[in-house]
Amino acid sequence: MHVNSTSSSTTDLLNYAKLILSKVSFDEHLFRREIRKFLTELKPEDCGLLKNWCLQEFGHTYQLVLLEEFAEHR
């Protein structure tokens, strides 16, 4: 069975983004900076998945930050 390495690498990057954002969520500046970085590195469909995950995980704390960053990325 052949595994698509592109799909695997984007999934890895998305999972890595989730890990890093979880670790820096204590600081708004770091959190915002990491979101910006990942939004430039992820594919558009993965950015949508990241947005949904971020809103679910951090929306109660960083809703405005998330809405601003994801709106600017479009």
pLDDT in tens, 14-60: 999 999 999 999 999 999 999 999 999 999 999 999 999 999 999 99
Entry pTM: 0.85
Closest C-alpha to 57, from 29, 33, 32, 21: 21
Band of pLDDT at residue 2, cut at 50, 70 and 90 = very low
**pLDDT surpassing 50 at residue 1:** no
**pLDDT surpassing 80 at residue 5:** no
Closest C-alpha to 27, from 65, 68, 56: 65
Domain chopping of the chain, boundaries = 5-73
| H/E stretch holding 20 | helix 5-24
- Residues with Cβ within 8 Å of 30's Cβ and at least 6 positions away in sequence, in order, are 24
